[in-house]
Chain A
Amino acid sequence: MEVKNLRVELEDRLILEDVSFGLRSSEIHVLFGPNGSGKTSLISAIAGLPGYRIVSGRIIFMGEDITGKSVEERARLGIGVGFQTPPEVTGVKLVDLLKLCLGKGSEDEFSAEEIRLIEHFRLQGFLNREVNVGFSGGERKRAEILQLLFLKPKVMLLDEPDSGVDVESLKIIAGEIQRYIESSGASALVVTHKGDILDYIKAKYGCVLLNGKLYCFMNPKRVYEDIKREGYEGCIKCQMKGEEKW
């Protein structure tokens, strides 16, 4: 996937000024940035959610320009989104949504491997509950990532998959993401505020979203350490764009 000079407005406000990056097969990139810098907007614009108006720039996916395609079309092409705050879907059971993600009918059974994954995510007790209704933050994230793994996307856009997640669950979630990326050749963009997840995923680049632009493509652990030490202020001063790396 390649994002070229993306400029995005939300409610007539310019959120992303000029964002470019590429994701190759089996690569994981980590995206940092202060609250409100537009990380969720970037993911939403790539997923095609309405409201995020792409003023200029292009999104190329598997050699095809998808900038004008609908949410559903993008999902079918293989773009998977893990929401920062997944909504409650009243009346729809998790079990039914998981089957839909797998492309199964409501009468079809899960395979042994699928059951293993559900149990690994400790979600067997949630199957007959309505999607995200009354789920804790961490439970929502586990359900969210499990749905994505079942969707088998070519690109995973993960918006803070680690927020509100306990240490043990983080290990499970991140471990399975890494396993999926390795085995499928898919790629992922992971938004995070914390460094812990970097212990479980092999991310190639870390970058920072600031003032509507991406900065600093380099070792994610270093980026994280720098932000911890210097704050996002330091990133502005540093201004290493490093786009030549692609």
Chain B
Amino acid sequence: MVSLDESKILKKVPRHVLMEAYGVGVAREEERAGTFFHVDQSTLYSSVNELFKGKIELMDIREALQRYEWLSDYMWNAIQKSSDFFTKKVAEDLSGGYFLRILPGAEVLFPLQSCLMITQEGMEQRIHNIIIAEENSKAHLITSCLQHSAVRKATHIGVTEVYVKRGAYLNSTMVHQWGDETVVRPRSASIIEEDGTFVSNYICLRPVMDVQMYPVAYCRGKGSKVIFNSILYGHRGSFIDAGSKAVLDGSESRAEMISRAVTREGSKIIVRGSIEGNGRECRGHLECKGLILDDESFIQSIPELIARSKSVEITHEAAIGRISEKEILYLMTRKLSKEQATSLIVRGFMDASIMGLPEALTAEISRIIEIATKS
């Protein structure tokens, strides 16, 4: 059954585009607090659920810049225009992006969603998003970035600036689904104020030619906190260089990084993590677990811990290994084939519950992981 809301979205977003998006975390509008669709070079759809009007703002970034003069203070603030070749490209010629603002004190119980899609062969998409979680607000956002299954080769460059104000909580989950010939360069940075919490989850499960990203979080406020979690599944010759960096300037600020990386079929994954403890009594922990499934693949974990005060405490643990033969055989005595046993263990290894999501979203992400590891 097509609901009224869906027919509204269908006027703007072609059905085949919508159907593909549903496979990577996009849900029906009525299950989300807000929905944003950017396809190729333009915003196709942007809407706030009736239940959350007055709590959030969600619109095209260019429209937002026209509407709010003050927004220019946030644009190219957490990230410098000139930081690299890719940020320069976005600054020169913007395809679009979203502006999301969760208003002060608003508690947004439904997740927000944005979908950035490429449907044209060979396209280079240049996105700039700005998210502002105002004081004491609370929200979950799920962003799905994908290319249409008809597209083989594309480039996605996405700049995202996140501002988490005093006492706010923002949980942002990014699901990527690119292709064997696609190059992806997300460029994200966040600034977190006093007692603010930013959770940044990254999920990459489909083969991709080349992803490189290194989002930075500046924990400026006292007691501010950042959590980076990632689930990376490198297969069919993927190359994924995904790291994260936390700069703990605020006293008693916290950083946590948890990653799960699986590599097979000649894929390469580099997991970087850097925690820089500058403020008094700040704490950090970095955890990387990797599974390597064949001799053609590669995993590298590069942790970096920096302390600039004796009151700083930062720890890390990393382990890379293969699946134990004993576990596989055990499952095979339960009528599973070797492949089924392997994918069951791989799926369990890529545990969605590390992401701190509400139960329903965890289940959604688990389903996406299940589908990706089955094929």
A72 contact set on B, CB distance < 8 A:
332, 335-338
> A80: CB under 8 A from chain B?
yes
A residues 62-78 with Cβ under 8 Å of B? 70-72, 75-76
> B348: CB under 8 A from chain A?
yes
> Chain B 2-33 against A: per-residue CB contact (8 Å), 1 yes, 0 no?
00000000000000000000000000000000
B349 contact set on A, CB distance < 8 A:
90-91
Question: Do the beta carbons of A89 and B345 come within 8 Å of each other?
Answer: yes
Using A76-B335, A151-B335 as known contacts, say yes or no to A87 and B330 having CB atoms under 8 A apart.
yes
> A81: CB under 8 A from chain B?
yes
A100 contact set on B, CB distance < 8 A:
334-336, 344
Question: Do the beta carbons of B327 and A71 come within 8 Å of each other?
Answer: no
Interface of B, secondary structure class, is helix
Question: Do the beta carbons of B334 and A101 come within 8 Å of each other?
Answer: yes
Q: Interface centre among A71, A86, A130, by most B CB within 10 Å?
A: A71
> B83: CB under 8 A from chain A?
no
> B351: CB under 8 A from chain A?
yes
**CA A220 – CA B69 in complex, angstroms?**
89
**CA A213 – CA B116 in complex, angstroms?**
69
> Chain A 84-106 against B: per-residue CB contact (8 Å), 1 yes, 0 no?
00111111110011001101001
Question: Do the beta carbons of B333 and A47 come within 8 Å of each other?
Answer: yes
**CA A209 – CA B4 in complex, angstroms?**
73
Question: Do the beta carbons of B332 and A75 come within 8 Å of each other?
Answer: yes
Closest 9 CB pairs of A and B: A91-B348, A71-B332, A92-B348, A75-B335, A72-B332, A81-B333, A91-B349, A87-B326, A89-B327
Q: Interface residue tally of chain A, by bracket?
A: 20 to 34
Q: How far is the CB of B46 from chain A (nearest CB, A)?
A: 33
Q: Interface residue tally of chain B, by bracket?
A: 20 to 34
**CA A32 – CA B347 in complex, angstroms?**
40
**CA A87 – CA B324 in complex, angstroms?**
10
Question: Which of B330, B332, B370 lies in contact with A86, CB distance below 8 A?
Answer: B330
**CA A87 – CA B331 in complex, angstroms?**
10
Question: Do the beta carbons of B331 and A89 come within 8 Å of each other?
Answer: yes
> B305: CB under 8 A from chain A?
no
Sample of 19 further A-B pairs with CB below 8 A, known A89-B327, A89-B348: A50-B329, A70-B332, A71-B333, A72-B336, A72-B337, A75-B333, A89-B331, A89-B345, A91-B347, A91-B348, A91-B349, A92-B331, A92-B345, A96-B344, A100-B334, A100-B335, A103-B335, A151-B334, A151-B335
**CA A16 – CA B214 in complex, angstroms?**
58
Q: How far is the CB of A186 from chain B (nearest CB, A)?
A: 15
A residues 98-144 with Cβ under 8 Å of B? 100-101, 103, 106, 130
CB-based nearest B residue for A90:
B348
**CA A87 – CA B329 in complex, angstroms?**
10
B residues 299-336 with Cβ under 8 Å of A? 324, 326-327, 329-336
**CA A70 – CA B332 in complex, angstroms?**
9
B334 contact set on A, CB distance < 8 A:
75, 97, 100-101, 147, 151
A83 contact set on B, CB distance < 8 A:
330, 333
